[in-house]
Structure 1
């Protein structure tokens, strides 16, 4: 074992220990489901001392459940609703909802925003490049700037580690899925100051549709340079190339029940026209330096580019014969780039008998997007005896350009006195945006947001807490008088209890929340065709989430949410008091992971996910998707040299609908990994 040396009197970062790489360090552990800290609050504060509700999907959970994408990895998380429009397609915008509010297609990667790209696409990261996924519930603008009120999703990518175990894997699955993956790393010098890691995935596959493809090439290199005991630099790169097919869009199943009875493999489009191609390139770094005076400086930066070519033929109506579908075509081409940088100074100190963890930060975001969207026509299709092969011309495209520049300065301070923990944060943002396609192309928004929290630590592991947080989010559009819309605003009151049983692997959070979004748009009754910002939406509820290890070989992860998401103010009378679109009042899940000591290496895991009835439209008269429960299964055998795993989602092939779209069918995958 070797440790990095330091000069006399030199400040140090957290120590880096380098050990011989052995496959034994990669053996799964039930404790791996249980995180201790979260990076979403930009500090190393333990979760038990954090007066906010935070959920974390760890690498161990990802490894066991084998989700195909980020959204699917959130399926067992309290307060989060996934698959809101039928079978998941992570490339589409929309994403999950958090505490009753859509999270859109934007998410955070290593603490830096990846903004929404467009209606038909979003950023994405291959699941094999991700170390963990964090969900901070409620407004997060005080640390991240403009964001939606329900919360944020942050993915932490894989980075070099001193005890890394190399692996290569082969996965075979439903829809002709064939996938190769590799996760390799090592030291590059004798002193082991420089470490590298490479996570790569190659996939050749299809979706459930006839005449489809789902291909991927993803490469994510990273390099850690321990410059000294006080300074380190991590370089992070990513390249992904996807070639796919959009999911099928049939006429609304509640208006046209014929759609509900079609085989899920039936394609509404034209194979020669359809494409969903996406290329992403990014490069960034994380720099950390500890000064002799006790201050720590951290800077995270990433520059990213995305290119999207989306072409789709969709069915939108059935003729009187009940079998002939009218079809249309659409195309979207987008090029965008994004520069995000976050710099902060932090220092821990004591004053007046109170411990402080203080930080001051400045972040900057510059996003540029150039795109074009067009709609056209396509020949009708017999939904029961489809004939493909028509030549579909590319629709005329209407170009648009937009930019967003945001600068924010923030400060946060966590106080600890005896068993009391409190924090206070404040932020000021200025956001400027331009859109060439509007009559008022330039807008400037500013906002001050904040958060407060208080928590008490009992000896028995119980920690009651309360918190308050606000958010803002700029929206596009103009009022009747030509002025731009103001940002929406979010406010949350939260109270709860956390429990970390002493001497046992476990963590439980119970939280009550009251979340309101104001300045939402509603119909301008005095000026038809325009909107005013007198709308309001509110979501109140309770969440229960926890994980505990029993008898050393059984892990139980459970989640339950009851929420009442609704429109509280609107100029459209039949929407006031109505349940929000695509958001159920109740969700629940349970996941069991059993690793019997008598059968060393074996793992038997499975779970169930429940989603209550859900509005499939806006207003109190909207139809409801029926409630459903899905079961998942995972069986694996692992040694120090290899792992073989079987995963099945929707084990009983339950037929269900979300937002009038058919949900995912049963899918099976088998994976083999070799370690060295």
Structure 2
């Protein structure tokens, strides 16, 4: 008997659905009692109070819209309107493409209202038809664009009863397509042309209109701030829920109103009692960033600690404290050795201050969370090729879209290849990066995402240059002090995971996610030792093999309920993490090198290298956390949370045939308050804490308590306009239980150290005027040692400048024959920095200028980026006197991009 392939597919799908049901049940069984108890609180009154309209992606404030009765319109019939000829002097007849600058969506008692905004209410020609259960409107000679000109797409799923989906997208280079799909039949769509707003669509399902038995009437919508949830003044007469808009295309803008890192929920930045800065994809594209370092330079209080010559993984300092690795989509991404590629990044979110309340052990300065691109429901294709100085070549492409007709299976694929030299002698890099992802919309309430990354990076390991006296050595910044052709560094990283989300009801959601990172490093490098008579550098040759396998599993329940007039949004989660891997170091002796007249012909030792480190490390972490976002009043919000962490670390030393273990536990609280005297201003204050385990034992064999960090912060957030926002913050962080040398036994440590960081930060991001964007920052950071047995009290922490300033701004001509022509300017100032904790040398201040010129035409973009325009000599960072990293001189990059 023959079995049809369709039957096989159906069978496979049934099996997969059963597996997913088991997975859902297993992951939430430990939380079900809590969910059930809290869910009983949610009455119909609570549901009415917590019905929200959430607008994502369109950062402009939704203005108050006049009533339909106040709008002068030639027709009220969709059929009449779409057949009405356009005026002879219309823009369409003149061949000019009308730009739809925004989309509004407002709930009404009759259904939902979609508004296409145009400059000055320009008229739009319409063509409509039906296909199946869909009402399709094509708007010829028009393009959907934000004020900067970039295309975007949005989709609203199940906005009201009887409607499956509403989408607005660019069908081709000169046509917008609006598709309204009903569940049981073709929906009713009526169109109105507004002289002030543009084109208005009034949409209702056939069943709704039949029940209401009336013509559509437009009601005054509640005023909203961009990206905020707003409570309707009255529940809808028909019981309809307000719609949710989801941006599915590339967002264009420097201001991102919502963030997830600070609360693990999609929360307006203005409602978060902490400083969180976001570097969106558009900034990375405009600056032609090729490293994560290029992204974080736009944020106040973030500097580099080391970057291995700019070709490998980098370490970052936030508010004075060096971080041990980044986070990716909310998961710990192994450690600082793990290399990150930016080709599939949607944005970079930087949370300032202690973050242990949600993320476990971390230094108190903050964390960097990399948010990756997700599959899109509409076809999207983009590719670019960059070539430039020092034999730099980098092609990338990004494709996405649905895999089936009903768009329940979506994909995305990002690929990048890089082959480049460097301003550093004998240093070159080859990189291959592949990142596929898949989204399966199992049903209306359940979504499953898979993602995978492969990264292979081969480069020359580079320790930079050294210091003489109290300054970097006066040698060319191009001078390589390793062994040419032998300082090989090979990094291979694999990342994989899934994210399962299930909506039990409109108020309760379950998330279960797994992240796996496997990072392998094999380095052959000449390690610098001490300078001999300020000329000859002692060196050794080291082979380092490191592997880190990092596994994380998170299960979270997010809810929403009310106690009287107070609205709660609790988050309850549990996280399991294991990080393990071998570490092996072998060493041989190299002859010294003359740093002023090097002869790079050192012979690698022919005898086997001596292994001096051979260990296997394992760290197990368990974290249980609870958070509540409480709306006390419309303008008063409270954030409280706490996390218990339990860690166990084990190290097997194969050379010494010994095994050591250590267990720690910590509680990390956070509390913050936001007061909004007017909608555009948020005043906040917060207290938060962090912890990091201290590894080792004292002279009496006892283990150490974890290092603790506490922060007090106050700040102001302001929406300077509906497209421009600013954050001003002042803080003090104190880190205690810092390991210092035992004065009675120098081979051991004691817990007497303390470090403190105080500062003021200002960040501005958004659009000043149409086409004029900006992202800028200023930071004053005073980070110093306040208690220590080894370093003098008052010494400044290494690589932390007291004053830093950054400014990146672009302007694009919006109209006329030069439309699409744009300019960019970047200014970066970094003050003097101490190079080490001894404060034995100084990295001098620098002022760097970047520039850009680009031109957009239809789906093409041509860009020229110039970095370090005036060829300033500067130093990015240092790790000690023998490891100083110079900054790149004048660099030119040219890029051609195509997007559709």
Q: Choose which of 198, 203, 208 in structure 1 pairs with 2:413.
A: 198
Shift of 1:319: 4.7
Cα contact 1:435–1:441 (8 A) shared by 2: yes
Q: Choose which of 738, 751, 764 in structure 2 pairs with 1:520.
A: 738
User: Which residue number in structure 2 is paired with residue 43 of structure 1?
Assistant: 265
User: Which residue number in structure 1 is paired with residue 755 of structure 2?
Assistant: 537
Q: Choose which of 566, 591, 594 in structure 1 pairs with 2:808.
A: 591
Shift of 1:460: 4.7
Cα contact 2:694–2:739 (8 A) shared by 1: no
Residue aligned with 2:310, SS: coil
Residue aligned with 1:617, SS: coil
Once the two structures are superposed, residues 422-478 of structure 1 have per-residue CA deviations (whole angstroms, 9 ceiling, x without a partner) of 110011111111011396611111111110010112325111010110111112222
Gapped runs of 5+ residues in structure 1?
none
Residue aligned with 1:72, SS: helix
Q: Is the alpha carbon distance of 1:29 and 1:426 closer, same or farther for their aligned partners in structure 2, counting shifts above 3 Å? A: closer
Q: Is the alpha carbon distance of 1:314 and 1:334 closer, same or farther for their aligned partners in structure 2, counting shifts above 3 Å? A: closer
User: Which residue number in structure 2 is paired with residue 214 of structure 1?
Assistant: 429
Cα contact 1:250–1:316 (8 A) shared by 2: no
Distance 1:209 1:526 in 2: 44
**How many residues align structurally?**
660
Shift of 1:369: 1.2
Comparing 373-382 and 197-206, the one that deviates more: 373-382
Q: Choose which of 464, 470, 478 in structure 2 pairs with 1:265.
A: 478
Cα contact 2:465–2:477 (8 A) shared by 1: no
Residue aligned with 2:343, SS: helix
Distance 2:248 2:156 in 1: 26
User: 2:821 matched to 1:602?
Assistant: yes
Q: Is the alpha carbon distance of 1:307 and 1:433 closer, same or farther for their aligned partners in structure 2, counting shifts above 3 Å? A: same
User: Which residue number in structure 2 is paired with residue 474 of structure 1?
Assistant: 693
Comparing 204-213 and 282-291, the one that deviates more: 204-213
Once the two structures are superposed, residues 275-328 of structure 1 have per-residue CA deviations (whole angstroms, 9 ceiling, x without a partner) of 1100011211111110137310112211121111011114435555x6544332
Cα contact 2:379–2:402 (8 A) shared by 1: no
1:643-658 equivalence runs, <5 A: 643-657=861-875, 658=877
Larger radius of gyration: 2
Distance 2:505 2:888 in 1: 56
1:21-420 equivalence runs, <5 A: 22=172, 32-40=253-261, 41-82=263-304, 84-85=305-306, 88-89=309-310, 91-92=312-313, 95-104=315-324, 106-116=325-335, 122-163=337-378, 165-254=380-469, 260-292=473-505, 294-320=507-533, 324-383=536-595, 384-388=597-601, 390-393=603-606, 395-397=609-611, 398-416=613-631, 417-420=633-636
Shift of 1:536: 0.6
Shift of 1:622: 2.3
User: Which residue number in structure 2 is paired with residue 434 of structure 1?
Assistant: 650
1:649-668 equivalence runs, <5 A: 649-657=867-875, 658-659=877-878, 661=884, 662-668=886-892
Cα contact 2:253–2:767 (8 A) shared by 1: no
Q: Is the alpha carbon distance of 1:9 and 1:22 closer, same or farther for their aligned partners in structure 2, counting shifts above 3 Å? A: closer
Shift of 1:44: 1.4
Shift of 1:368: 0.8
Shift of 1:81: 1.3
Q: Is the alpha carbon distance of 1:112 and 1:385 closer, same or farther for their aligned partners in structure 2, counting shifts above 3 Å? A: closer
1:481-492 equivalence runs, <5 A: 481-492=700-711
Distance 2:345 2:580 in 1: 26
Comparing 147-156 and 184-193, the one that deviates more: 184-193
Distance 2:544 2:269 in 1: 42
Q: Is the alpha carbon distance of 1:164 and 1:96 closer, same or farther for their aligned partners in structure 2, counting shifts above 3 Å? A: farther
| TM-score scaled by length of structure 2 | 0.70
Distance 1:261 1:22 in 2: 58
Cα contact 1:18–1:192 (8 A) shared by 2: no
| TM-score scaled by length of structure 1 | 0.92
Shift of 1:51: 0.7
Shift of 1:549: 2.1
Distance 1:110 1:333 in 2: 27
Once the two structures are superposed, residues 54-90 of structure 1 have per-residue CA deviations (whole angstroms, 9 ceiling, x without a partner) of 01110011111122211221001011113x3477536
Cα contact 1:277–1:309 (8 A) shared by 2: yes
User: Which residue number in structure 2 is paired with residue 627 of structure 1?
Assistant: 845
Residue aligned with 2:282, SS: helix
Distance 1:468 1:7 in 2: 39
Cα contact 1:314–1:329 (8 A) shared by 2: yes
Q: Is the alpha carbon distance of 1:447 and 1:329 closer, same or farther for their aligned partners in structure 2, counting shifts above 3 Å? A: same
Distance 2:367 2:166 in 1: 30
Distance 1:432 1:505 in 2: 47
Comparing 344-353 and 454-463, the one that deviates more: 454-463
Give RMSD over aligned pairs: 2.7
Distance 2:279 2:749 in 1: 39
Residue aligned with 1:128, SS: coil
Cα contact 1:21–1:165 (8 A) shared by 2: no
Cα contact 1:422–1:455 (8 A) shared by 2: yes
Comparing 28-37 and 403-412, the one that deviates more: 28-37
Distance 1:491 1:649 in 2: 38
Gapped runs of 5+ residues in structure 2?
1-133, 137-154, 177-246
Shift of 1:521: 0.9
User: 2:883 matched to 1:670?
Assistant: no
Once the two structures are superposed, residues 193-248 of structure 1 have per-residue CA deviations (whole angstroms, 9 ceiling, x without a partner) of 11101000011222223333200000000011111111111110000111111124
Q: Is the alpha carbon distance of 1:23 and 1:647 closer, same or farther for their aligned partners in structure 2, counting shifts above 3 Å? A: farther
Cα contact 1:30–1:555 (8 A) shared by 2: no
